[in-house]
Amino acid sequence: MKEEETLGSGGIGKELDELICDIFEILQDIKEINKEQLVINDTSDAEKI
């Protein structure tokens, strides 16, 4: 495929880029939540001992 052809479907590419960005933002949020959850789990495990 030539570059010109891919540029012609720029609308789809733009939407895909936005979706990918949204997915990465969600993944970052999930990572942060998981880190917080791990800290909570560690402290509750420490209290049981």
Q: Whole-model pTM?
A: 0.55
Number of domains composing the chain:
1
Domain that holds residue 7: 3-48
Q: Is residue 27 a contact partner of residue 20, using CB atoms and an 8 Å limit?
A: no
Contact 40, 32 (CB under 8 A): no
CA atoms within 13 A on the CB side of 46: 6
Amino acid identity for residue 36 in this structure: E
DSSP state of 9: T
Q: Which residues of the chain have pLDDT under 50?
A: 1
Residues 6+ apart with CB under 8 A from 22: none
Q: What pLDDT is recorded for position 1?
A: 44
